[in-house]
Structure 1
């Protein structure tokens, strides 16, 4: 049995289809207040299964209502979890900074569950919000007329796909106010200048490996979930697209794709599109360094965007 795909320290895929994942440090949820927020794990769909972790900021205002931020973790669609310590700290602190209820989603992973499974699972998390308003106590504090979607890397890609489904839904179209993709993970069969540059071979190889593991069998990188230019939306649907702020990192190999995504949205007539760059930062730095000055700045920028509505 041989290894056919590997991201050292994270995942190994073997020739018989077996997948081995290596989990980094994780954190448990706690309904006891910690650093200004409470957290707890929820079951979104026990049959698939899909899980989530919620964060509720403390408030001195009785019965205060909070906007809701739904967050999708990264990991090339193949790794990652709501339980990873970096995500737990980042999202808990973000809930405090932004005064939002945060729902972090554990969707099913590839290659066992190839795309579009992640998109379907993450959209079902939006449906869970509506269906559990009277069941989940924390959602009684939720102001579901202001819903935001965010995620990093593959999660930033998921943000785009879930938003498309949401604007086609009578339930969510008016509720979805903004998208906050962080270092989004896109691609295409056509290589970009950076991907063809000297010294990029390692990054290209790793990206291609994750796409091979996550794309539907028989698909290439022009699959609509990889190449955002192949999304089939009418101009009327594009006119309903919410405001978007795209976060990119100056030292990130995927920065070029993030900027291209923002320019694409502008050409489609999306009214509010902004790019914010963390100049000296690497890909998903906020997960690896959730308490750094750069992460605090990111949380502040996200909070300003959310609170502008």
Structure 2
């Protein structure tokens, strides 16, 4: 009798297992949850929409209770974490997090469902998220110009009716925070048909940055140990053809070949790190580098003691998680 056991091609435990037949087991994903016309705890409404059929990009939108039908709200474009290879905009933990954040900050959030590796290796996720930003920008009805790209886009009424495109923010956790950085860098070089003239602010919680050499003056292990680390293994898995490998500027924004961080295309920046997170030193160094590079915006570092990676997503009911979410909400409410 032939064995039905599938052969493993690659595994990065405890996250993923890829089989030689091409199938993938994502081992740590949170369960997906449906949208709600009004969350019982926060009153936030949510719905899922398609941004594009080809490529296949979707999003979950979050709308807080409105004071009046014509109320305009800041727009937050959010990118979920998960190492570029698992988790979802539709997962229970990110849904709960955004319900809480949207309720407190009174913003309209667009949580992007980008395509994941290994089925879609990087840079696909970056391109999907840039496309999503273009889609959000296309809803700015105050701009008179129209292009052919607009003709292919179905407009979303929550954005057209309630989006304030003078106040657009980017946010993300882990890999999503990495995406935020790369979208902000791209925004400074490529306009969005002038539909979004500026990014009011960007927050990066526990950003996924790495490199081949330990940071000078840090507690990071030697280069040999870094090469065996989970962040390195994940990057090689999700972007096997990355020019420069783990020193590609998209993962190592303070590396020797990275462009100046003075090119960040946002007005304000908040970086949050956690004491027990292996990525903490990289987040702190990124914040320092932004301060030192001549960037004209305002930057703030939030360093939370006693916590680990993505605690505000995974353990949203903890006191530290609630405090961090409130701090992020305050960041979004500053004009």
Fold in common (TM above 0.5): yes
Matched, 1:96 2:103: yes
Alignment partner of 2:291 out of 266, 269, 277: 266
| Structure 1: 5+ residue stretches without partners | none
**Looking at CA atoms only, which structure, 1 or 2, has the larger radius of gyration?**
2
| Pairing of 1:59-208 with structure 2 (within 5 A) | 59-132=66-139, 135-139=155-159, 140-170=161-191, 171=194, 174-192=197-215, 193-196=218-221, 205-208=229-232
Matched residue, 2:250: 225
Alignment partner of 1:289 out of 315, 318, 321: 315
Deviations 1:250-278 (A, max 9, x none): 11111100001101111221231110111
Matched residues in 1 for 2:261 and 2:313: separation?
A: 36
Deviations 1:279-301 (A, max 9, x none): 12110001111222212111211
Offset at 1:231? 3.3
The number of aligned residues is 304
Deviations 1:106-133 (A, max 9, x none): 1111122222211111111111112245
Matched residues in 2 for 1:191 and 1:45: separation?
A: 40
Deviations 1:153-175 (A, max 9, x none): 11110000011122223326633
TM-score (norm 1): 0.91
Matched residues in 2 for 1:143 and 1:224: separation?
A: 32
CA 1:149 to 1:203, structure 2 compared with 1: closer, same or farther past 3 Å? farther
Offset at 1:205? 2.4
SS at match of 2:234: helix
CA 1:255 to 1:232, structure 2 compared with 1: closer, same or farther past 3 Å? same
Deviations 1:165-203 (A, max 9, x none): 222233266331111000000011112443317xx9699
| Structure 2: 5+ residue stretches without partners | 1-6, 142-154
Alignment partner of 2:35 out of 18, 29, 38: 29
Matched residue, 2:144: none
Deviations 1:49-73 (A, max 9, x none): 1111000000223421100111111
Contact 1:178 1:306 in 2 (8 A): yes
Contact 2:97 2:316 in 1 (8 A): yes
Matched, 1:12 2:38: no
